[in-house]
Amino acid sequence: MLSITKTFEFAASHRLLDPCVSEDENQTRFGKCASLHGHNYRLEVSVSGPVSEETGMILDTRVLQDIVEDSVLSELDHKSLNEDVSWLEGKLPSTENLINSIWDRLQPEIARHGHPARLHKLVLWETSRIFAVREEGS
């Protein structure tokens, strides 16, 4: 199956913090990530599906841009993941939890647009050396 990928960037702050344990335990578990800090994230969104005979595309990347902007980036960019994002409430804003939450927001939005394209893969880069991957079926 063919796929196409578009890359997006956003900046956000977070703190890895379990409110059920002491500050010392949070420092032990999460080290420097227990303190408020920020990242310039990079999100790679891949969709797969048949290539349209009419357009020559799986999904118009302008449509994908609008979906990602409206469903994800407008909610995350220059925000505190711990405090400002309602759909992350009650979740530790780790890269793993963040990518799963982004998947849960994008997957139905892409399907809702009536294209045969579907969300295939997400890659979320927290830093140039740390990233998480979620693929269709996982």
- From 75, 115, 120, 126, active-site residue: 126
Which DSSP string do the residues of 6-75 spell out, in sequence order? EEEEEEEEE----TTS-HHHHHHHHGGGGS-EEEEEEEEEEEE-PPPTTTSSSS-HHHHHHHHIIIIIHH
- From 33, 39, 96, 136, active-site residue: 33
The yes-or-no answer on residue 115 being catalytic is no
The yes-or-no answer on residue 54 being catalytic is no
- From 78, 83, 113, 135, active-site residue: 78
The yes-or-no answer on residue 20 being catalytic is no
Residues belonging to the active site: 33, 78, 126
